[in-house]
Chain A
Amino acid sequence: MPLKSIYRAPWFVKAVFVISFFLIFFVAGVTYKNMSDLSDSSDLVTEKYEVAIELEQILSYLKDAETGQRGFVIIKDSTYLEPYFSGRENINNSLAELKELIKDEPEQGQNLIELNFLIDNCLANLEQVQRFILKEQNNINSPAFEPLFARGKKIMDQIRAKIKVMLDVQNKKLEINQKEYENNLKVTPIFLYLLMLLSLLLLIGAYFKIISNLKKLEASNQALELFKESANQSEIVSKHGNWTWNIEKDTFSFSDNLYRLLGEEPHSFAPTIANFMKFVHPEDLEKLSAQVEEMKENENLPFIYYRVIHKNGTIKHLKAYGKVVVSGENRRNLLGTTTDITDEIESFRALEKRNLELERNNKELSAFNHVASHDLQEPLRKIQTFLSRLEDKEEDNLSESGLKYMSRIKNAATRMRLLIDDLLQFSRTNKADKVFEVSNINLLLEGAKQDLAEVIARENATINADAFPVINVIPFQIQQLFANLIGNSLKYKSEDRTPEINITYEMVKTESEKLLTNATADSYHKIEFKDNGIGFDNEYAERIFVLFNRLHNKDEYTGTGIGLSICKKIIENHQGFIFANGETGVGATFTIYIPVV
């Protein structure tokens, strides 16, 4: 659509006006030319009539002179010669006039010279006749007179003929001129009419173009108005304001909300930097002024933070950003945005305070843990060591009940030791500095088996394991997890059969695992520990992971109820999940999910 695209082109209106201007200029030129042609034609007509009049006059003067002379010949009264004398003078005047009229036409000039010669001849002949009359005393019948007279007539005829020629020439010229003029008159109006029509069309096009542009302008003006309103609203909601600083003229404009940020009604004071600075916190004044100066010079500066004080004394924290925008002929404007970040700062401070409290709590907790586990160990160790010494040295001196008491003390101390060790381990599992490493899980399982080598050998247990890939984990914790789970299986073994633990590995998609309801990752490493021990009632599947929770009386099975809590903690540290599933008398299955990263 080339036409359409031309019509849409931004230079269209300009082009139309330029073209129309030239068209009208052209039309004016052509019209001028026609007018001047017309006046030329009428000049020619006038000239022709003048020439004709002069020629007729010359002829009439000549006739007068001839007539007078004839009268003189007949009457012999010299008063008849009067026209002859005056005629000569008048003829000369007319000739001069003629000469002036036809000075541009060489053909007529030649004719005029010939005419002049003929007139001279005629006049000379008239004079000869005259002289002849005076000399011969009116002897008209003399043979000499006759040829003279005849010659006079002949010359006269020649003059008439010449005049006629001259008049013809003039007529012809006029005729040609007239024809040309008529031709012009026929073509020019159509041409001019078409030209005018064309420029009219162009102007109509331009008119529609301008109208449509105006409409668009109006529409975008409306959109702009709407946008301005929404910007206004968003400024209010997001607590920010805008300002523009024309650096050359040193004038400002503030958006409505900028006033509100200062706690004032919109446009309640003149937008100048001095007025603005009145609100700035005195401590920030110097810094802000320096930064504003800098904004004028440099682009892309970092955010400026400062405080303002409202008239009612409230202190607000503002964050500002300014950028120099150069528009048009080097007009530099500093465009700025200012945001009220008081809420952010306050919530940040609250968060900081909470964090500090939490940190302190954590420190206290870890100090408590340290005391509870580390410092408690020392006296307990001594109790146990002294007990062992007592047992070695004084066993023989004790009564039976004394021995029984000692054995009870020993058991209590051992249990206390177990509790402390497990607590210590649990608190270590809680510690924040966990370092994830891409680890060979097979080696970690091997390590766990080594840790439990004694009991595995004693129970003659079989442990079958799939091959594991490397996984990003906290290595010592995973080893701990494996050791705890294997240890758990061996502890709750069935008396009827040798323990067997099957450890399987599989990489699974989250959606295919019905146990994973709160999963965040797409896929998980699934490790399953399945034993053939005493199992448990599934009713307790959740409870066994709770700290200090035990399903069995401590006389039946030793243990603190911390081991599986540690497992849960470790798995939580890995953003994973652990589930237990048991069947009394058949065995237990622990399923672990560690996210694939």
Chain B
Amino acid sequence: MNEDYIHIVLADDDEDDRLFFTDAFEELKITTKVQTYNDGVYLMDYLNSEDAILPNVLFLDLNMPRKNGMECLKEIKANEKFADIAIAIYSTSASEEDIENTFIHGANIYIKKPDNFKKLKKALSEVVTINWQYHTSGLNKDNFLLRL
């Protein structure tokens, strides 16, 4: 890949999940830089700060205290500045309602947190590579929907 690394940000209030997430990326062969935030408020503070490096892919847990994933999603989609960020929802829930609703509000990817570390690695790898294709191969980002 042509950039030095892929910039990835995760907002999740669950410590174990953040651990699985960073561990998974460490074990993947793709060069990535992963940042994690403990909830939506911390995340938005970071994204809105002036010197923020905007991520290529942003992973959002839906169920978070203070500001949940859906609120973050709406805020991000309302701001032109964040138009290039691919948004992945990263949630325990797999209800059709949640999935369709987040897609409708502009999410690109929906990942149900897997119950197996191998599956997690596979899913994250898929997200990154497909996102990369959308980034480099002239695919229409507006039509980018992926459910894992």
Direct contact of A and B (CB under 8 A): yes
Contact A381 B92 (CB under 8 A): yes
> How many residues of B are counted as interface, with CB atoms below 8 angstroms from the partner's CB atoms?
16
Is the CB of B66 closer than 8 A to any CB of chain A? no
Contact B118 A392 (CB under 8 A): yes
Is the CB of B116 closer than 8 A to any CB of chain A? yes
Contact A476 B115 (CB under 8 A): no
A374 contact set on B, CB distance < 8 A: 92-93
A428 contact set on B, CB distance < 8 A: 95
Over the window 93-106 of chain B, the binary record of Cβ atoms lying under 8 Å from chain A Cβ atoms (1 yes, 0 no) is: 10110000000000
Mostly, the A contact residues are helix
Whether A476 contacts B96 in the complex (CB less than 8 A), given A381-B115, A384-B116, A385-B117, comes out as yes
Is the CB of A382 closer than 8 A to any CB of chain B? yes
Shortest distance in angstroms between A23's beta carbon and chain B's nearest beta carbon? 97
Over the window 459-487 of chain A, the binary record of Cβ atoms lying under 8 Å from chain B Cβ atoms (1 yes, 0 no) is: 00000000000000000100000000000
B23 contact set on A, CB distance < 8 A: 389
Contact B14 A378 (CB under 8 A): yes
A389 contact set on B, CB distance < 8 A: 23, 117
Q: Which of B7-40 contact A (CB under 8 A)?
A: 14, 16-17, 20, 23
Over the window 363-384 of chain A, the binary record of Cβ atoms lying under 8 Å from chain B Cβ atoms (1 yes, 0 no) is: 0000000000010011011101
Complex CA distance for A577 and B120, rounded to whole angstroms? 42
Complex CA distance for A389 and B114, rounded to whole angstroms? 13
B117 contact set on A, CB distance < 8 A: 385, 388-389, 392
Complex CA distance for A413 and B116, rounded to whole angstroms? 12
Shortest distance in angstroms between B100's beta carbon and chain A's nearest beta carbon? 11
Contact A384 B96 (CB under 8 A): no
Over the window 26-59 of chain B, the binary record of Cβ atoms lying under 8 Å from chain A Cβ atoms (1 yes, 0 no) is: 0000000000000000000000000000000000
Shortest distance in angstroms between A43's beta carbon and chain B's nearest beta carbon? 125
Shortest distance in angstroms between B61's beta carbon and chain A's nearest beta carbon? 11
Contact B14 A385 (CB under 8 A): no
Complex CA distance for A380 and B114, rounded to whole angstroms? 11
B120 contact set on A, CB distance < 8 A: 385
Over the window 103-125 of chain B, the binary record of Cβ atoms lying under 8 Å from chain A Cβ atoms (1 yes, 0 no) is: 00000000001111110100000
A385 contact set on B, CB distance < 8 A: 16, 20, 114-117, 120
Can you list 20 A-B contacts with CB-CB less than 8 angstroms, sorted by A residue number?
A374-B92, A374-B93, A378-B92, A381-B92, A381-B114, A381-B115, A382-B16, A384-B115, A384-B116, A385-B16, A385-B20, A385-B114, A385-B115, A385-B117, A388-B118, A389-B23, A389-B117, A417-B115, A428-B95, A476-B96
Interface positions of B (Cβ within 8 A of A) = 14, 16-17, 20, 23, 92-93, 95-96, 113-118, 120
Top 4 A-B pairs, shortest CB-CB distance: A384-B115, A388-B117, A388-B116, A381-B115
Interface positions of A (Cβ within 8 A of B) = 374, 377-378, 380-382, 384-386, 388-389, 392, 413, 417, 428, 476
In the complex, given contacts A378-B92, A384-B115, what are 13 additional A-B residue pairs having Cβ atoms less than 8 angstroms apart?
A374-B93, A377-B92, A380-B115, A381-B92, A381-B113, A381-B114, A382-B16, A385-B20, A385-B117, A385-B120, A389-B23, A413-B115, A476-B96
